[in-house]
Structure 1
Amino acid sequence: MSVDVSVLQPIYRDLYDLLGETELLKVFEYYRGAQVTFPVHLYQRTLVSQAIAQREMLASDCQALARHYGYSERWIRNQVRKENRPQ
């Protein structure tokens, strides 16, 4: 039996529109009854900082990385400075 879209809860209707019926049912079964909050950033701050630490950085990279990871260019530059400090 297929999903009756006309009576779905609003969030499930949104997921149905975004993902389709099969994926909606997977999400429903997996998270059923749980309250889920999505972070503002897709990428985890500490892991982004570690990834930046492992790169050779150019000034132009900061802007591109800021766009890619969704953090401010200022924050990216601060992470680069922290890693370049003598310890």
Structure 2
Amino acid sequence: MSKNVVYDALFPIYQELNDLVSEENMLKIYSYWRGSQFSLSMRLYDSKQLRPILKASRTSNKDLIRLYGYSERWIRDNRR
């Protein structure tokens, strides 16, 4: 589904999106969010949603730190 996009003429952010998610998906993102400004959280997981998962988990704190990207103290405090 190429729309004859001229890659070299794209803004750098659209070139990166094209490389990451394909031309077709870059165009979908463009048509859906064009003109919008947004920022992405440093964390992938919502802390409120993660708390019950941590409490039910039998995985070690060390593995949970690597998996979810939160600090050791935060993981430890929220598993109680």
Fold similarity call, TM over 0.5: yes
Residue in 2 that maps onto 1:71: 70
Aligned structure 1 segments of 4 or more residues deviating by more than 2 angstroms: none
SS of the equivalent of 2:78 reads helix
Write the distance in 2 (CA, Å) between the matches of 1:46 and 1:75: 12
Q: How many residues align?
A: 78
1:85 paired residue number: none
Q: Are 1:23 and 2:30 matched, yes or no?
A: no
What RMSD in Å do the two structures reach over aligned CA positions?
1.5
**Structure 2: unaligned runs, 5 residues or longer:** none
Using the alignment, how far apart are the partners of 1:61 and 1:14 within structure 2?
36
Give the gaps of 5 or more residues in structure 1.
82-87
TM-score (normalizing by structure 2): 0.86
Q: Deviations over 1:25-55 (max 9, x none)?
A: 11111111110101000111111113223x0
Match of 1:52 in 2: 54
Q: CA deviation at 1:67?
A: 0.9
| TM value normalised by structure 1 | 0.80
Letter in 1 for 2:77: N
User: Following the alignment from structure 1 to structure 2, what is the Cα–Cα distance between the partners of residues 56 and 42?
Assistant: 18
Bigger Rg, which one? 1
